[in-house]
């Protein structure tokens, strides 16, 4: 079973590399306590999360708080720090950057689901102003990394997902390791107003149509709570 590690695309290395062979996640780095969220904001973010998909169970969360202080975010950052990337700039490309103060301090909700066939991790972040990550740079379409002594090759292509929200993108990444434990990672990011929804779907095979259906459901929830 693939072990889900929450967070945004920054934790992809841990999911596709370390997690594929059940290597424990690195302990999260110390983070400043997050400011208390207003009950209304907490309820809004929680309402934007997906319900448990059929045949899966909640493996983590929901966790709520400032995005940069969440345990899931810290684990993803720690996993990337431990990995040796051929192109370090590609670790968080096309995704929200938790190292930026306005993103790190933004209220967020994260949840992860798991089943024998793989995992789904979703985050919803309320930013102070409308923002959307730039597209994946061409140089990040293919690169390698050393993840806990395993060489992993990542190859990513942009998917032609039907438009969602105000802005949206979807990617499919193949992670092939020299330990023969391969994985596919479907990534979706959607913006509605100042809300950003990011989702990772990890499995031996991720079908684009299934990813699009999850994106549709996630966007419907986002539309109900976006202001």
The yes-or-no verdict on residue 38 having pLDDT over 90 is no
The pLDDT, as a whole number, for residue 36 is 52
Q: What percent of the chain has pLDDT over 70?
A: 82
The yes-or-no verdict on residue 18 having pLDDT over 80 is no
What's the distance, Cα to Cα, between the start and end of the chain in Å?
38
Of the two residues 172 and 147, the one the predictor is more confident about is: 172
The pLDDT, as a whole number, for residue 179 is 65
Q: What percent of the chain has pLDDT over 90?
A: 51
Q: Which of 13-22, 32-41, 55-64, 150-159 has the lowest average pLDDT? A: 13-22
HSE-CB at 201 with a 13 A cutoff on CA atoms is: 23
Q: Is the dihedral of CA 10, 51, 22, 68 positive or negative?
A: positive
What the block records as the tokens of 44 is: 């809004």
The yes-or-no verdict on residue 166 having pLDDT over 90 is yes
Give the number of other CB atoms < 10 A from CB of residue 65: 22
The pLDDT, as a whole number, for residue 17 is 35
SS3 221: helix
The yes-or-no verdict on residue 209 having pLDDT over 80 is yes
The yes-or-no verdict on residue 70 having pLDDT over 50 is yes
The pLDDT, as a whole number, for residue 178 is 73
Length of the chain: 227
β-strands 183-192, 57-66 pairing = unpaired
The yes-or-no verdict on residue 11 having pLDDT over 80 is no
Of the two residues 192 and 19, the one the predictor is more confident about is: 192
């Amino acid at each position: 079973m693939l072990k889900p590690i929450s967070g945004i695309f920054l934790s992809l290395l841990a999911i596709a590399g370390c997690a594929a062979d059940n290597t424990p996640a690195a302990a999260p780095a110390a983070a400043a306590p997050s400011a208390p969220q207003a009950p209304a904001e907490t309820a809004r973010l929680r309402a934007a999360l997906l319900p448990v998909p059929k045949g899966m169970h909640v493996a983590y969360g929901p966790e709520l708080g400032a995005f940069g202080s969440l345990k899931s975010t810290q684990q993803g950052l720690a996993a990337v720090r431990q990995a040796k990337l051929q192109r370090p700039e590609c670790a968080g490309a096309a995704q929200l950057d938790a190292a930026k103060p306005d993103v790190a301090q933004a209220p967020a909700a994260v949840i992860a689901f798991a089943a024998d066939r793989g995992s789904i991790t979703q985050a919803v972040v309320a930013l102070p102003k409308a923002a959307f990550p730039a597209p994946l740079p061409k140089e990040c379409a293919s690169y390698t990394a050393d993840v806990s002594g395993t060489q992993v090759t990542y190859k990513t292509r942009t998917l032609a997902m039907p438009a969602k929200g105000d802005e949206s993108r979807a990617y499919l990444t193949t992670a092939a390791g020299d330990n023969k434990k391969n994985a596919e990672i479907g990534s979706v990011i959607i913006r509605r107003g100042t809300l950003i929804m990011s989702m990772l779907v990890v499995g031996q095979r991720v079908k684009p149509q299934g990813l699009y259906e999850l994106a549709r459901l996630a966007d419907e929830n986002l539309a109900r709570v976006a202001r």
